[in-house]
Amino acid sequence: MKPLILTLPVSLLAVAVLSAAPPKQTFTGTITDGMCAKADHSQMQMGPTDAVCTMACVSIHGATYVLYDGKNTYALGDQKAPEKFAGQKVKIVGTLDAKSKTIQVDSITAAK
């Protein structure tokens, strides 16, 4: 009976640790599109500005909004909120799924 009493709390602790939600993080970068993932719109030239090009790639070519931080490109779980920040540097608070490199967005604000 004694081993069972010790095993139960350890098992419950292990389940709690493994099921904990991933921590929220803050990411800073540029909202761009998956076709111009490094925020370089010179090849596509879908408009006079990066913002117009980004929105055109999303609406016309079916690209998705992504965040480019200068090194990495992250898919964004929310595809509505990024539209008003297209081509702009932003801060995103959310949780990262490291396997898919997707940020589940909680909030987006313009970076200062």
pLDDT in single tens digits along all 112 residues of the chain? 555 565 656 655 656 555 667 899 999 999 999 988 777 776 767 778 889 999 999 999 999 999 999 999 999 999 999 999 999 999 999 999 999 999 999 999 999 8
Fold (topology level) of 22-110:
OB fold (Dihydrolipoamide Acetyltransferase, E2P) (2.40.50)
What sign does the CA torsion over 63, 69, 73, 77 have? negative
Angle at 76 between CA 96 and CA 105, to 5 degrees: 65
What sign does the CA torsion over 81, 85, 65, 105 have? negative
Cβ count near 107 (within 10 Å): 13
What sign does the CA torsion over 90, 39, 41, 105 have? negative
Q: Are the C-beta atoms of 104 and 24 separated by less than 8 Å?
A: no
Q: Max alpha carbon distance in the chain (Å)?
A: 75
